[in-house]
């Protein structure tokens, strides 16, 4: 336990301006996600507290007292004029009076636990408090991956602990170096639960990342060891380049889905079905909203009403950039909004996503629009705000990663816009947009340099706007795309399935967490093989 020296804050700076505080939250009773979302809402509504940033959600094994439920943990960054003592009173009020927490014993189960982790005054100085019932920074934080992992999503990797003066990211690496399995967390993305009989609350997309030391180079790197999710494409558009509208009736679509699932569940636990009613092929004619709704809503309803399908294993995404289609699809049972435009084609889309905090959102990279994207393939210039990039722990200004730095910064800009509209980090899956505003070489770099993109973070000059892709799952959609046909000399998209199986394995080898494919039966096997090879999953 770290004993802080004497309290070193003068009331002046703490009470005269917006202080930045990092809180950790945990819940392991009842609907854990709802408890946490409710607590964050109450925090933000408090007249003297503003929520600025929230980490992902993590599921973790209980520490200290092991005979209890797994926790959902995370961290939240707030601005407040409250002193540390006043803040403690406010969060205890939220725990005990607003969320009716009953504390049976120390380290025991709780509906909600909020702790002050760090407190910086309006000038950015760390405030140290060392009183019997209030120790800041939290005296156990450095032994808790369930605090440091989410916290490292919110602070630059060179952010130091005020007492150890070591970067907090180094303390987290030290925990992982101990190699205790219970220190590794599941990153969870809440999605709706449609099976009323089972537990209420949410289902999750789950991802587990560990730090492995390369036995030859002794370098440590983060690798995901959880199974890759397959997103199977259901094109309901007559002109989609790969299916030519052979699923143009509800019955045919439902039959296709039953076959898709039957094959897939031989090898995998669940499936994501991506329903698309408006082609996003470059230069394709865009369906009207009415056409898109007519092609997608009925089949989503049919899937959700089909008793033969195991509802809790079926996750539905809607491939749309339109807010009206997204809203309607969510109402009839979609779990994920898969938007190729990064929220750029419909200014109301982010509002829809933020009004459904338990629906996941695929934040994709593209440029321009369907008609212009093929011309916008130069990555020599930075667009958007000035700032610096980090990869892993180091600030990076090298030139050889220019493509990834430009791509990362454009994705970070869209990410910041999404958050400014109320979308939460815990909802986001990132897609670097294979085939969208990228030439052949750029598409191959997206795959080859994926590890850098997954470790990318960006600090905007002169602000605290820090965007880290740490723990955000990456979706790649290479299936039957032109860049494959160019290399394999297959002009007809229908002949690219074998090649797609190969490139899917490469995507997983470089760290893809989800892959979007047409041929589910074949790619199911490619994924299983790639997971066994790269993710140590036999």
Ligand X SMILES: Nc1nc2ncc(COP(=O)(O)O)nc2c(=O)[nH]1
Binding residues for ligand X restricted to 217-276, rule: CB under 6 A:
233, 240-242, 276
Q: Is 31 a catalytic residue?
A: no
Among 34, 63, 134, 267, binds ligand X (CB under 6 A): 63
> What angle is formed at CA 27 by the lines to CA 179 and CA 78, rounded to 5 degrees?
95
Based on the shown chain and the rule CB under 6 A, indicate whether residue 208 belongs to the binding site for ligand X: no
Based on the shown chain and the rule CB under 6 A, indicate whether residue 340 belongs to the binding site for ligand X: yes
Peptide bond into 378 cis (omega under 30): no
For the chain, how many residues are written?
Answer: 538
Binding residues for ligand X restricted to 156-195, rule: CB under 6 A:
none
Tracing tokens 């084609």 back to the chain, one arrives at: 345
Based on the shown chain and the rule CB under 6 A, indicate whether residue 207 belongs to the binding site for ligand X: no
Based on the shown chain and the rule CB under 6 A, indicate whether residue 364 belongs to the binding site for ligand X: yes
- The window from 87-95, 208-216, 325-333, 476-484 that contacts ligand X (CB under 6 A) reads 476-484
Binding residues for ligand X restricted to 32-61, rule: CB under 6 A:
60-61
3-state helix vs strand vs coil in the chain, percent to 5: 35, 25, 40
Output the six-digit token pair for 475: 């979706």
**Could you give the 3-state DSSP secondary structure of residue 279?**
coil
Give me the least distance between CB of 104 and ligand X, in Å please: 12
Give the binding-site size for ligand X (rule: CB under 6 A): 34
Output the six-digit token pair for 357: 């905090």
Partners of residue 412 on adjacent β-strands: none
Based on the shown chain and the rule CB under 6 A, indicate whether residue 212 belongs to the binding site for ligand X: no
Q: How far apart are CA 406 and CA 509, in angstroms?
A: 23
Binding residues for ligand X restricted to 129-158, rule: CB under 6 A:
140, 146
Tracing tokens 């009173």 back to the chain, one arrives at: 89
Based on the shown chain and the rule CB under 6 A, indicate whether residue 280 belongs to the binding site for ligand X: yes
Among 338, 427, 465, 467, binds ligand X (CB under 6 A): 338
Q: How far apart are CA 186 and CA 400, in angstroms?
A: 33
Among 9, 22, 57, 71, binds ligand X (CB under 6 A): 71
Cβ-based neighbours of 179, under 8 Å, separated by 6 or more: none
How many other CB atoms sit within 10 Å of the CB of residue 491? 10
> Measured from the CB atom, is 241 or 265 closer to ligand X?
241
Among 161, 405, 445, 516, binds ligand X (CB under 6 A): 516
Q: Is 113 a catalytic residue?
A: yes
Give me the least distance between CB of 68 and ligand X, in Å please: 8
Among 107, 164, 213, 249, binds ligand X (CB under 6 A): 107
Give me the least distance between CB of 113 and ligand X, in Å please: 5
> Measured from the CB atom, is 459 or 508 closer to ligand X?
508
Output the six-digit token pair for 525: 């096997």
How many other CB atoms sit within 10 Å of the CB of residue 391? 20
Based on the shown chain and the rule CB under 6 A, indicate whether residue 373 belongs to the binding site for ligand X: no
Residue of 32, 110, 409, 414 marked active site = 110
Residue of 1, 10, 44, 115 marked active site = 115
Give me the least distance between CB of 44 and ligand X, in Å please: 21
Among 10, 17, 45, 64, binds ligand X (CB under 6 A): 64
423 and 350 Cβ atoms separated by less than 8 Å = yes
385 and 452 Cβ atoms separated by less than 8 Å = no
Q: Is 491 a catalytic residue?
A: no
Tracing tokens 């394995």 back to the chain, one arrives at: 505
Q: How far apart are CA 440 and CA 154, in angstroms?
A: 34
430 and 404 Cβ atoms separated by less than 8 Å = no
DSSP letter string over 496-523?
A: GHHHHHHHHHHHHHTT-SEEEES-HHHH
- The window from 36-44, 197-205, 278-286, 342-350 that contacts ligand X (CB under 6 A) reads 278-286
Residue of 32, 113, 414, 513 marked active site = 113
> Measured from the CB atom, is 172 or 459 closer to ligand X?
172
Q: Measured between alpha carbons, how far is residue 297 from residues 187, 327, 328 in Å?
A: 30, 11, 7
Give me the least distance between CB of 53 and ligand X, in Å please: 19
Residue of 10, 32, 93, 101 marked active site = 101
Based on the shown chain and the rule CB under 6 A, indicate whether residue 443 belongs to the binding site for ligand X: no
How many other CB atoms sit within 10 Å of the CB of residue 534? 19
Q: Is 93 a catalytic residue?
A: no
260 and 275 Cβ atoms separated by less than 8 Å = no
Contact positions toward ligand X, by CB under 6 A? 26, 60-64, 71, 73, 107, 113, 115, 140, 146, 233, 240-242, 276, 279-281, 319, 338, 340, 362, 364, 431, 433-434, 475, 477, 479-480, 516
Q: List, by residue number, the catalytic residues.
A: 101, 110, 113, 115
């Amino acid at each position: 336990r770290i004993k802080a020296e004497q309290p070193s804050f003068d009331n002046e700076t703490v009470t005269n301006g917006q202080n930045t505080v990092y809180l950790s939250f945990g819940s392991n009773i009842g609907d854990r996600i709802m408890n946490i979302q409710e607590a964050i809402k109450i925090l933000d509504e408090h007249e003297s507290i503003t929520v600025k940033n929230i980490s992902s959600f993590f599921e973790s094994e209980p520490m200290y007292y092991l005979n209890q439920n797994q926790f959902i943990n995370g961290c939240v960054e707030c601005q407040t004029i409250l002193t540390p003592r006043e803040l403690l009173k406010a969060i205890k009020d939220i725990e005990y009076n607003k969320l009716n927490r009953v504390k049976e014993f120390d380290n025991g189960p709780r509906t909600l636990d909020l702790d002050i982790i760090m407190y910086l005054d309006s000038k950015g100085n760390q405030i140290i408090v060392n009183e019997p019932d209030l120790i800041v920074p939290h005296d156990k934080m450095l032994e808790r991956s369930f605090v440091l992992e989410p916290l490292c999503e919110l602070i630059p990797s060179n952010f130091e602990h005020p007492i150890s003066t070591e970067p907090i990211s180094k303390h987290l690496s030290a925990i992982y170096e101990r190699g205790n399995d219970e220190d590794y967390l599941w990153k969870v993305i809440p999605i709706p639960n449609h099976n009323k009989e089972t537990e209420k609350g949410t289902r999750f997309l789950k991802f587990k990342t560990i730090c492995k030391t390369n036995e030859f180079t002794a370098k440590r790197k983060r690798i995901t060891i959880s199974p890759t999710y397959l997103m199977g494409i259901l094109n309901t558009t007559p002109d989609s380049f790969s299916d030519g509208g052979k699923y143009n009736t509800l019955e045919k679509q439902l039959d296709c889905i039953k076959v898709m699932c039957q094959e897939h569940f031989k090898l995998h636990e669940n499936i994501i079905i991506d329903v698309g009613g408006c082609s996003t092929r470059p230069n394709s004619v865009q369906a009207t909203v009415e056409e898109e709704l007519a092609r997608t809503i009925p089949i989503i309803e049919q899937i959700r009403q089909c008793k033969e399908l195991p509802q809790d294993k079926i996750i539905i995404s809607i491939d749309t950039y339109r807010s009206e289609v997204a809203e309607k699809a969510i109402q009839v049972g979609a779990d994920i909004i898969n938007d190729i435009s990064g929220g750029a084609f419909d200014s109301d889309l982010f509002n829809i996503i933020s009004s459904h905090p338990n629906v996941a959102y695929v934040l994709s990279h593209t440029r321009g629009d369907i008609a212009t994207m093929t011309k916008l393939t130069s990555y020599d210039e930075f667009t958007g705000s000035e700032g610096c990039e980090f990869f892993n722990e180091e600030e990076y200004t090298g030139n050889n990663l220019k493509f990834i730095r430009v791509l990362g910064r454009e994705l970070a800009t869209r990410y910041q816009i999404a958050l400014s509209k109320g979308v939460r980090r815990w909802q986001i899956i990132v897609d670097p947009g294979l085939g969208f505003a990228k030439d052949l070489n750029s598409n191959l770099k997206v795959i080859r340099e994926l590890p850098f993109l997954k470790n990318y973070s960006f600090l905007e000059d002169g602000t605290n706007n820090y965007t880290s892709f740490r723990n955000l799952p990456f979706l790649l959609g290479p299936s039957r795309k032109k860049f494959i046909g160019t290399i394999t000399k297959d002009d007809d998209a229908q002949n690219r399935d074998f090649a797609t199986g190969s490139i899917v394995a490469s995507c997983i080898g470089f760290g893809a967490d989800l892959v979007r494919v047409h041929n589910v039966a074949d790619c199911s096997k490619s994924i299983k093989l790639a997971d066994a090879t790269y993710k140590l999953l036999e």
